[in-house]
Copies of this chain bind each other. A is one copy, B any other.
Amino acid sequence: MISVNNFKYSIPTTIYFGKGQICHLGKAVAQYGRHALLVYGGGSIKRNGIYDAVLEQLRGEQVAVTELSGVEPNPKISSVRQGAQLCKENGVDVILAVGGGSAIDCAKVVAAGACYSGDAWDLVTNPGKIGKVLPVITVLTMAATGSEMDSFAVISNPDTSEKLGTGCEGMTPKVSILDPEYTYSVPKKQTAAGTADIMSHIFENYFTNVKTAFVQARFSESLLKTCIKYGKIAVESPHNYEARANLMWASSLAINGLLSDGAEVAWSVHAMEHELSAFYDITHGVGLAILTPNWMKYVLNDSTVGKFVEYGVNVWGIDSGADPFTIANGAIEHTRNYFNSLGLPSTLKEVGIGEEHLAVMAKNAATHGLENSFFPLNADDVLAIYKSSLK
């Protein structure tokens, strides 16, 4: 039996959590630099006042600002290159991301790219090339990726249809401002997709073969219950503070090491989904919601059923006295129904994905360590899961 793995736990990000916590931003940025690159996406932060609040904070500390706006969902390497260039040209010494995971992921790789003489795409394909990294600070406006408290970033390259993860300790944000009210304006569809993304991070950590990491497993169940309870409320009542607050905090804790340290396992569904959004640019959380129940069905067997029973009993409250496969299938059904209840699709067909690229996507996905996941998968397995997700 595998025992609790050795681990190094280090979560150096300082979080200011709650209403009005933007008041700490100016001093936090000024502590790390005098010239900030402000990284954000579309114009939503200008409409909801966050942009103005951020600038006021920076002005208050006489921090100079250069802007990188228009960072897209599934952030592209072109934005990273542009940001790195701006840093070099303007003497930027601190990166401030304002937005969701896309802005933050882009900012992290910009922070590394600003200190790198070659092409920033090198830092995505080969994290070993990351050297110095400018300090990153974030103001979160969407609960989903957990990028505000971890060391990872995912960047897309449309030229090569690649969507790859990279990261290093230095990319972990120094300070993140988490104001649940800043997520009030996130549309229902994005709130639903964000909830699916958080849940998928938890599932990826929870479905591990390190059976004795009890603390980590119970924490995973705690966060799953949080998502299940509050995802629904946030979709239905976007201004419910309690729901937005619990979802926001769950998103950060799901992926910052707390659930995975000591229980490490290679992730499965993320690698499969990254191919979908690399080829079709669909919303990451939507892809995860479609694939997850089908992945669960595919990997359920005599040796994995115990973990699914744990999930069904502890998260969904299914009677532990029932037959193990009944519990397991019930839990999978609950999962699918829950995603549907948030308004998320359950087939690839619904998001316009057909059979055409499945084989090549399966082959790509299988190269991302899936042989070391909870249930080892090869390209044929992935293809079967894709196909079972078609309609």
Contact = CB atoms under 8 A, between A and B. Distances in A.
B15 A9 contact: yes
B9 A246 contact: no
B17 A262 contact: yes
Given A222-B218, A249-B215, A261 B8 contact: no
Given A218-B222, A222-B222, A245 B21 contact: no
A7 B219 CA distance: 20
Given A3-B241, A14-B10, A215 B19 contact: no
A223 B218 CA distance: 8
A4 B226 contact: no
Interface in A179-221: 180, 212-215, 218-219, 221
A68 interface: no
A341 interface: no
B3 A245 contact: yes
A253 B222 contact: no
27 contacts: A3-B241, A4-B18, A4-B241, A4-B246, A4-B249, A6-B20, A7-B15, A7-B17, A8-B15, A8-B17, A9-B14, A9-B17, A10-B14, A10-B15, A12-B12, A17-B262, A18-B262, A212-B246, A214-B226, A214-B242, A215-B222, A215-B226, A215-B246, A215-B250, A215-B253, A218-B221, A218-B222
A223 B216 CA distance: 10
Nearest to A218: B222
A32 interface: no
A225 interface: yes
Interface string A246-274: 10011001000010011000000000000
A229 interface: yes
A230 interface: yes
A269 B223 CA distance: 28
A3 to B, nearest CB: 6
Interface size of A as a range: 35 or more
Taking each of A4, A212, A253, which has the highest tally of chain B beta carbons within 10 Å of its own beta carbon?
A: A4
Contacts of A214: 225-226, 229-230, 242, 246
Interface string A80-122: 0000000000000000000000000000000000000000000
A246 B14 CA distance: 26
Q: Which 5 A-B pairs have the closest CB atoms?
A: A6-B18, A218-B222, A9-B15, A212-B242, A4-B245
Interface in A347-389: none
A5 interface: yes
A11 B17 CA distance: 14
Nearest to A6: B18
Given A4-B241, A215-B246, 9 more contacts: A4-B18, A4-B180, A4-B246, A4-B249, A6-B17, A212-B245, A215-B249, A215-B250, A222-B222
